[in-house]
Amino acid sequence: MDVKLINPFVDAVATVMPQLGFQNVSRGKLAVKDQYVSSQGVTVLIGMTNDVRGNIAYNMSEETARSIASTMMMGMPVDKMDDMAQSAISELVNMVTANAAINFEKQGISVDISPPSLAVGENFKVKVSSTKYLALELLIDSNALELNIGLGQ
């Protein structure tokens, strides 16, 4: 997978997160992987079609998901992964991926995105791509978010 395909996502996170009330977004490690993504508890899968095809799995712990949902809801406490929190996290993934899609368009690459599927459970694994994918670690305020990007042109 071409490493250049991650830039639209990095830019999207940097654009969207501050709009939702997050202060600091920093990039951690980037690794090439070919195995399954082990879910940290909450994994959101979203697909792309058109010039770029594949899936992206946004992976985070339930604690992180609750913390992010709380910030998105103006600091309202989120004690469990209820409907509101699920909806907030799905919306976040939708916004970031839609913004990445706009960034692809700027490069003349046309993409469409599917609705996000949020998966919650214990000990499950996810495969985003039949070949290699890129795992990008992000730190959003103190929340660790992992983007597993399996895309091809």
**DSSP secondary structure of 31-85:** EEE-SPEEP-EEEEEEEEEESSEEEEEEEEEHHHHHHHHHHHTTT----S--HHH
25 binds another protein (CB under 8 A): no
CB 84 within 8 A of CB 78: yes
* Per-residue x/- track, 69-88, another protein (CB under 8 A): --------------x--xx-
Q: Kindly tell me which residue out of 2, 130, 139, 153 binds another protein, with binding defined by CB under 8 A.
A: 130
Q: Kindly tell me which residue out of 5, 17, 55, 146 binds another protein, with binding defined by CB under 8 A.
A: 55
Q: Kindly tell me which residue out of 7, 24, 26, 49 binds another protein, with binding defined by CB under 8 A.
A: 49
Q: How far is the CB of 44 from another protein (least distance, A)?
A: 9
Tokens linked to 121: 């459970």
109 binds another protein (CB under 8 A): no
